[in-house]
Chain A
Amino acid sequence: MPVFKTPFNGYSVKFSPFYESRLAVATAQNFGILGNGRVHVIDLSPSSPVINELIAFDTADGVYDVAWSESHDSVLVAAIADGSIKIYDTALPPHSNPLRSLKEHAREVHGLDYNPTRRDSFLSASWDDSVKLWTLDRPGSLRTFREHAYCVYSASWNPKHADVFASASGDCTVRIWDVREPGSTMIIPGHEHEILSCDWNKYDDCLIASASVDKSIKIWDVRNYRVPVSVLNGHGYAVRKIKFSPHRRNLIVSCSYDMTVCLWDFMVEDALVGRYDHHTEFAVGVDLSVLVDGLMASTGWDELVYVWQQGMDPRA
């Protein structure tokens, strides 16, 4: 399966919701600790095993995450380590980009999520402990959600309720928010260690998964969050990112500082369905294609982006 080499360390990879062969990759120099960043937009060619780069955007600081617009096929937003969010239009020449630079976060922006139902808005999660809500037509954020006591690593919209989202933080909680409410509506003290990622089940709007430094993934039912529905153990180090499958209710993909990408079925006893050991450094970005069932992508600090079909060897 095709591999794409990035000059910097990979941080995040996302499939386009419009084109099945298109992906965006966020990268940062020097492991995101200091240096530049670059957003790559890449295209799988159906015939050859080569991944082509369509366009790339350079930034003055590392890029920690990207999110495709759900409303326009060429627009994407990038989370920059300098605290800014940049909006790019891949259809425009490089000198017209970025379209916007939104600078409100006081520290690194670590996660972005575009609202799949209200397609004009997106969330940013930042190390300044806040989550901000943005729409493309406003120069400033619509709202700031400031309750977490430590870095917020990711925010994720509920796929059914356009006003509801969850945020995962280093304060060891996942918080559920309704943008119509002033404060969080639910606090899930999910792990004893920092929580790095969270995602909603795409079929059951009450199920949410959290991934933690404690190496575990926990699945929660927000109607009864005292006890997790399931705990997935198997990663050797902190779990960096998780994502529910858009095609199978019980399938979840994760990537970890143990350098592996894992697939889980959280409803069965032996939850670990597959383990991919292709990265040689921390695997920090993973995504599942909405348009092609079973198509996966991952990136890591080994500066490689892999795209492969579930069940295949990414390196084959």
Chain B
Amino acid sequence: MSMRELVTGGAACAVSGSSSSSSNPLGALANALIGSSSKTQERLKEIPNAAAATSHTQFYDDPVAALPGSELDHPFLQSNAQGSDFIRGFRTAHDNGLADAWDEIQRQPHLDRVYNAAPAPPIQPTLDGPPQRVLSSFLHSFVDSSRSGIPLHPTPLPLLGLSQGDKQCIRDRSSIMARHFFADKSEEFINSQVNALLSSLEIDSDSHAKGPMPGRFRELEDYWNESQGILKPGAHAADGWVTEFSQHRAQHGDPDAWAHSFEQQHGAGGWASEFEQEQAQLTLVDQMRGGNIVNLAAIEQTRMLAHTLSQNDDPKFQNSKFLQFVSKMSRGELIIDDNQVKPASGSWATEYQQQFNGGASWADEFVHDEVSHGPAQWVNEFATEREQEPVDDQWVNEFSKLHVDDWAEEFGRQVGEGALGDSSSDNWATAYDEFLNEQVASKERSDASTGVYVFSDMNPYVGHPNPLKEGQELFRKGLLSEAVLALEAEVMKNPENAEGWRLLGITHAENDDDQQAIAAMMRAQEADPTNLEVLLALGVSHTNELEQAAALKYLYGWLRHHPKYGTLALPELVDSLYYADVARLFNEAAQMSPEDADVHVVLGVLYNLSREYDKAIASFKTALKLQPNDYSLWNKLGATQANSVQSADAILAYQQALDLKPNYVRAWANMGISYANQGMYEDSIRYYVRALAMNPKADNAWQYLRISLSCASRNDMLEACDSRNLELLQKEFPL
């Protein structure tokens, strides 16, 4: 989860204009690339029906903390992109355990969190990663373009946000695996392998060869627990296999026999001494865990692999998606060095300039970082981790070490290599650089708008006598972009108007701009903490973000503030909301009034949260029987079907939504996604183009379009896409 939050960024570090949601291809690729992803590719959406309830108390204490993507559970991982880059860089130069301790914290597996959040029913790991095909196709198109010499502008893969642990995974795993393919290919490589092996033998557990080991601390803890006799709570099998298992045990004799025989030989203390031994080893490993030497060695290794790869002319091999993947990594295009993402060769200069001339100096970044993290927290963490060191000195040391020496060295090395590189790889690198630069730029842009609503510059509706009415009218007509302006004028005039904010949020959502939608909804909730529509919308948003705890809070809040079901909600639940409890309450509500479509809608959302898509689909269908003309409900149904890998059905549902509301930009875009998911890229292009014709500002859709164009081998139209030449695109891809 942490990696996904970083990459998709939550609201905080999403690429500007696009959202943290996986409804954009960025998110989709992030999901595909870094996994975890039950952030669904297509999003549910809030209900646009107007309804209001009056406000009393705010049921949710800390709306800011609840901002989607605001790292509710990962205070360290402020997703401010520059900030994390900085921290990442800062961490690099370490040569002791701090970095690893942090990694450890970062890498708390998703599962654990899910379990912690809801220990009652073991929720499934919330991951599915539907857009894998997007990644594969993307890699394929990358390969194609490099062969045909057309510089590919990859749609931004949000790799910049990968956590330290993820990067280690990439580096370690790819270097381990890559050795399997190329070990006998070149003398150089064999040497490097032998060296790696020797150094690993030296320290017994190969921190050199495999890179730093983020998992060690956990193991230590496990051993500790073991020695303390704390048993990990195993899941309780509800059925008979345990019994059956015991029977087998009886048949097979005493299963403890091994343990006994071991104890007999080594005495009861055998395990304890093994434990001690390991502790000693761990300490040793920690000491040996140098930072950069290790990493440089790993990079050097993959670099040699890349060289080997380029000499292999077996066509089958050259077509291998995996080898292209590894190759990119080994070029430093995908591998992320500890300091920062390191685009290969010349782009360093560019990036350097962008970062420095662009006004984001290191100092700025640091300040920025501090602000977003809260200086106290940062310092505290730091102090806790390194009590024995004087904080300031250490920091200064690390900082200067990293940015003066390593950085310069790395820079020089990269530039030197770029100059010597062969031309084809240069093309590749250049294309990649451009995209990285774009990333940097767009990140800078998005930093400004982190979780904050950003108003349009020139708004003709400012000064309009009744902008709310005008906005509602425009919304009804489906002129969403215009409606946004009118509604912005309204909320600028009346910042406390919850309805204005709510409608603004819905308009943004329908216009496929989730970041703004969420920001607006947060403002709506501030203004009116008990508005049912807003609560539901936020529940949906958090479901999309897979923030179960927050989603449950909002959905529970919806129930609590509902005039009819408020009595069902037990106040004592507020502090410990479990999925099962909330789902049970809503099922009760549904029994209470089976004709209330809203309850079924919430149930559908809840089932999305637990990934019981069949039930979710059934709930939405029930709701649709009651409200067949609710286009957003059709969209929800479609998104759920798409999530349960029923893309064909999803298209039918989206079609229903579009029949009801032809200007529903999001449904057009979702339709495109569903086609793309089925590999029908040409079709998906047409739908994206249609969506863009309606809202050219839908940045997500531009990115989807780019992917689909690449996947459909329509590189000839990429330029039209980049220049946003809608006229040409519409002519080329009529619907």
Contact = CB atoms under 8 A, between A and B. Distances in A.
Interface string A22-59: 00000001111111101000000000000000000111
B209 A106 contact: no
A144 to B, nearest CB: 7
Interface in B297-329: 314, 316, 319-322, 325, 329
A144 B110 contact: no
Interface residues of A, number: 88
B248 A71 contact: yes
Contact of B325 (A31, A89, A142): A31
A16 to B, nearest CB: 15
Contacts of A83: 215, 218-219
A239 to B, nearest CB: 10
Contact of B248 (A91, A98, A119, A213): A119
Chain B residues touching A, majority SS: helix
Given A119-B252, A257-B180, A104 B201 contact: no
B235 A100 contact: yes
Given A81-B173, A107-B210, A128-B215, A92 B321 contact: no
Interface string B254-278: 0100110110011000100010001
Nearest to A31: B322
Interface residues of B, number: 88
A92 B177 contact: no
Interface string A170-189: 11100000011110000000
A120 B252 contact: yes
Contacts of A128: 205, 213, 215, 219
A214 interface: yes
A278 interface: no
Nearest to B240: A91
B665 to A, nearest CB: 28
A22 B264 CA distance: 41
Interface in B188-247: 197, 200-201, 204-206, 209-210, 213, 215-216, 218-219, 222, 226, 231-232, 234-235, 237-239, 241, 244-246
Interface stretch (A130-138, A266-274, A308-316): A130-138
A287 interface: no
Given A72-B241, A179-B258, A196-B180, A97 B173 contact: no
A97 B35 CA distance: 20
Contacts of B197: 149-150, 171-172
Contact of A136 (B123, B129, B245, B320): B245
B121 interface: yes
A91 B173 contact: no
B34 A99 contact: no
Interface stretch (B89-97, B130-138, B589-597, B683-691): B130-138
Chain A residues touching B, majority SS: loop
Given A95-B121, A95-B122, A180-B265, A149 B235 contact: no
Contact of B213 (A94, A102, A107, A171): A107
A29 B241 contact: no
A101 B249 contact: no
A281 B322 CA distance: 8
26 contacts: A29-B32, A31-B177, A33-B329, A34-B170, A58-B38, A58-B127, A59-B125, A61-B35, A72-B241, A72-B248, A84-B109, A89-B237, A95-B121, A96-B122, A100-B235, A107-B213, A120-B249, A137-B245, A137-B249, A149-B201, A149-B204, A179-B258, A180-B265, A182-B270, A193-B183, A238-B183
Given A32-B177, A96-B237, A118-B252, 13 more contacts: A29-B132, A30-B32, A59-B111, A82-B215, A96-B238, A100-B234, A105-B219, A121-B258, A143-B258, A149-B197, A196-B180, A282-B322, A301-B322
Interface of B: 1, 32-38, 109-111, 121-130, 132-133, 135-136, 162, 166, 169-170, 173-174, 176-177, 179-181, 183-184, 197, 200-201, 204-206, 209-210, 213, 215-216, 218-219, 222, 226, 231-232, 234-235, 237-239, 241, 244-246, 248-249, 252, 255, 258-259, 261-262, 265-266, 270, 274, 278, 314, 316, 319-322, 325, 329, 610-612
